[in-house]
Amino acid sequence: MTRPGKRFEIRSETPLALEQRYSAHNYDPLPVVLTRGKGAFLWDDADRRYIDMMSAYSAASHGHGHPRILAALEAQASQLAVPSRAYFNDKLGPFLAALCKRTGLDEALPMNTGAEAVETAIKAARRWGYYVKGIPHNKAEIIVADGNFHGRTTTIVGFSSEPDYRDGFGPFAPGFVSVPFGDLLAMKRAITPRTAAILIEPIQGEGGIIVPPQGYLAGLRQLCDEHRVLLILDEVQSGLGRAGDWFAFQHEGVMPDGIVLGKALGGGMLPVSAFVARREVMAVFTPGSHGSTFGGNPLAAAVGFEALRVIEEEGLVERSRMLGEHMFDRLRAIRNPALRAVRGRGLWAGVEIDPRQASARDVCLRMLDKGVLSKDTHGTVVRLAPPLVIRKYDLDIALDIFAEALNEAVPSGQPVAA
Ligand SMILES: *Cc1c(COP(=O)(O)O)cnc(C)c1O
């Protein structure tokens, strides 16, 4: 243990060694030390350039250091940053208005991280269940999907199906039921008079970029209408252009009762999240019933507002759709015995690798070596999700390198047709 306040010499050790020594080991990073970023590029401590095919799990969808968002951040930081919500501020209203107009929903509750906004959605669903639907007190149920990822609070990991996320963190909050993702019949069977909401990702991100069968979201909407259940979509990763639409729910033309946003809402600069919902749902919150010291601060609001404007004015949704189609054409043309499936939409692909042929982490390490940053999910899926501002030219280089890395990772690999 270090004695509190003891002076120590840190200059002689590398940042990597210090991080390994002093950080809790709740991550297993790839061995590269990043020092700066611009657009779709990142640089390491030896000034080596990488193409970012990760986008910080979609938090950097606008690219790194976007000039307009940076300008908004700097201007607001020197004006007013964190006055608390004990007062109104001049940036929150315009930001939330833009968010509601964009989503087609009525009211928004600003938070910071995705997990907090999911917690907000859970609270809203439960209160709505008791106050509006009339579910007996403390009996509300929320239905979620197997393989979900909604964040890391104890309540949220309590309904995860991933042992690593749960082990040793119980006891968990009751009131959640999990059914297979993409299975409408299982969902229908799980609904009871005590069901307040279905909480689901329209495309499962951390679960391996799993796209449900066409018609699933529309089917969920219909079930929710029939049984008076809220449809709450977690678009923290799928939203804001990532999946080739502003929001993934638009792909099937459904309207949810509430959505959860985060990651890209912070423009690659700050944690900014929100729960956005119909008025009837949001009306359950009264002063004192929920809050966050930093949520809705003017610095975050100014950055979030500019993040939305940049998506709109730079046509990032269209870019995601068009470049995404190109990316999927190229990925589907790869012939490699280890490639089991290519899934996703927009600029968001998960490539499933046969673990008997190659490890997804090994593929990512080889890509790193060749100047492309990605990260495996679940040890078997390589994620390809560049900033939406990436140039087609750089995307093509990254895809060439992915095909090359995959080829080299499979000892018995046949030549790749990319
Ligand atoms: C990342 C993520 C979250 C959690 O966001 P944090 O900001 O890490 O708390 C929630 N839901 C989904 C779908 C996510 O991908």
Catalytic one of 52, 91, 234, 394: 234
Ligand 1 pocket residue status of 113, Cβ below 6 Å: yes
Q: Is the pLDDT of residue 10 over 70?
A: no
Mean pLDDT of the chain: 96
Give the pLDDT of residue 7.
63
Q: Is the pLDDT of residue 3 over 90?
A: no
Catalytic one of 52, 91, 133, 149: 149
> In the chain, what percentage of residues exceed pLDDT 90?
94
Confidence of residue 418 (pLDDT cuts 50, 70, 90): very low
What tens digit of pLDDT does each residue of 145-186 get? 999 999 999 999 999 999 999 999 999 999 999 999 999 999
C-alpha distances in Å from residue 392, one per residue of 240, 327, 346: 20, 9, 14
Ligand 1 pocket residue status of 246, Cβ below 6 Å: no
Q: Is the pLDDT of residue 51 over 60?
A: yes
Tokens standing for residue 133: 């639907």
70 contacts: CB under 8 Å, gap ≥ 6? 269
Q: In 80-149, which residue ranges form alpha helices assigned H by DSSP?
A: 92-103, 114-128
CB count within 10 Å of CB 137 equals 7
Give the mean model confidence (pLDDT) for residues 200-219: 97
Q: Is 38 a catalytic residue?
A: no
Among 54, 13, 50, residue whose Cα is nearest residue 35: 50
What tens digit of pLDDT does each residue of 263-299 get? 999 999 999 999 999 999 999 999 999 999 999 999 9
Catalytic one of 91, 133, 263, 375: 263
Strand 372-373 to strand 49-52: parallel, antiparallel, or no bridges (unpaired)? parallel
Distance 59 CA to ligand 1 centre (A): 10
Q: Is the pLDDT of residue 394 over 80?
A: yes
Judged on CB neighbours under 10 Å (0-12, 13-18, 19+), 397 is middle
Tokens standing for residue 185: 């019949």
Query: Beta partners for 352?
Result: 341, 381
Q: What is the rounded distance in angstroms from the CA atom of residue 406 to the CA atom of residue 409?
A: 5
CB count within 10 Å of CB 211 equals 20
Q: Is 6 a catalytic residue?
A: no
* pTM, full prediction: 0.96
Give the pLDDT of residue 411.
75
Give the mean model confidence (pLDDT) for residues 19-38: 96
The ligand 1 atom nearest the CA atom of 273: 7
Tokens standing for residue 344: 């996703």
Distance 4 CA to ligand 1 centre (A): 34
The ligand 1 atom nearest the CA atom of 262: 7
For the chain, list the domains and their CATH numbers. Answer: 15-60+321-409 (3.90.1150.10), 67-313 (3.40.640.10)
